Every structure is written in structure tokens, then in C-alpha cells.
Amino acid sequence: MTSYQEAFERKEVKYRLDAAQRSAMLTALEGRMAVDDYGTTSIVSRYFDTPDWALIERSLDKPLYKEKLRVRSYGIPGEDDQVFVELKKKYQGIVYKRRVGCSYAAARAYMGGMPYEQACREFPLPDPILAEASLSPRSLQIAREIDAFKERYTPLRASMVTICDRTAYAPLAIGGEGEA
């Protein structure tokens, strides 16, 4: 059992807000939602694409189906920190994400051409439970799916890095914070 979610299926709706809209939203959330246990986190995403930008070009066309490959970290990663190699697909507005967790050093080796399992063994996560999870049958299956993507779009290269701060919220219990 891993300590992170390996697969997602959800609808993502993103909005760009100016300062006034953000303030109004935060006011509207008062009494309904509060910052959750994750709080505010810096998220670093390194996206991969072909030399001719085929993946982003397709994405910009807003097709019914699109896919991306990225390495994501929560905070600026050190070599031993856990990061996620994620295969993100979107079909008819629903996002499907499959990801493996490994050390940043392993992710760099893997994206550089080393087989996933070898990268995880050579550059294991310091936490033995997380290191074991990176080599679980489910993780190895997801790595095979990522390998198929990498083969389909070879050669891939790092094409863009995004860094943002995200604040996560959770609904308050009915009747206010802390009440059941």
C-alpha cells in the first residue's frame, strides 16, 4: 500500500482570478471551507515534449483527447526527495492521472533513459516504505504505461517548468469548524 494516490479520475476546472476576484472568493468561503492539512504548497512541474512541440500543439487545439508527461514535486526537490512521474490524460473533460513516486534522482535517471526499476533501485527513497512502494507491482505497471508513452513520442525532452503556490481547502463540518 502506498502513502499517495497513484491513479486519479476527476473533473478539473481552473479559473484565473484577479486580486479582487480572489478576495471575493475567499470571503465567500468563510464559514464553509478552511485551509486543509496540506496548506499552501509550492508545486514544481517539469513537462516533457517532442522537439517539434507535438504534445503542446495538440493540447492547444483543445481535442477530445490529449495527454501529457511531467515530473511533479511539492516544494523544490532535493536528490532524495519524493517526486512523481505522471502520465496525465484528458478525455471529454475528465482527467485521468497515473503516477509513480520515486526519488528526484531516480526520476531524472528514468527520464534520461534508465529503466524505471533500475533507477528506483540505484536511487531509492530514504523512507523504506516509500522505496518499497516505488517498486510495487502497481507502480511497475504504471511505469510500463509511461514507457509506452515515452516510446510513442520519442524523443522526449524537458520543455517547460511551471512553479506555483497552491492553497488546498476542505469543507468545514456543518455548524462550523471542528463540529461534527
d(CA 124, CA 142): 18
Going by C-beta distance under 8 Å and a sequence separation of 6 or more, which residues neighbour residue 47?
56, 68, 69, 70, 158, 159, 160, 161, 162
In this prediction, residue 179 has a pLDDT band, given cuts at 50, 70 and 90, of very low
pLDDT of residue 21: 96
pLDDT of residue 175: 55
| CA distance readout (Å), 129 to 81, 101, 121, 159 | 14, 12, 13, 32
Mean pLDDT of the chain: 91
pLDDT of residue 11: 79
Sheet holding 7-11, edge to edge: 7-11, 94-103, 82-91, 65-74, 33-49, 157-171
CATH superfamily of 7-170: VTC, catalytic tunnel domain (3.20.100.30)
> Would you give the distance in Å from CA 13 to the centre of its chain?
16
pLDDT of residue 14: 78
**Closest to 70 (Cα-Cα) out of 84, 52, 57:** 84
pLDDT higher than threshold 90 for residue 153: yes
118 in Cβ contact with 135 (< 8 Å): no
The string over 95-134, giving b where at least 16 C-beta atoms fall within 10 Å of a residue's C-beta and e elsewhere, is eebbbbbbbbbbbbbbbeeeebeebbeebbbeeeebbebb
pLDDT of residue 122: 98
Percent of the chain with pLDDT over 90: 79
pLDDT of residue 180: 41
Mean pLDDT of 78-91: 96
Report residue 168: phi and psi, to 5°.
Answer: -95, 140
pLDDT of residue 3: 60
Report residue 45: phi and psi, to 5°.
Answer: -125, 125
- Give the pLDDT confidence of 5-56 residue by residue, as tens digits: 777 677 777 788 999 999 999 999 999 999 988 889 999 999 999 999 999 9
- Give the pLDDT confidence of 52-79 residue by residue, as tens digits: 999 999 999 989 999 999 999 999 999 9
Percent of the chain with pLDDT over 70: 93
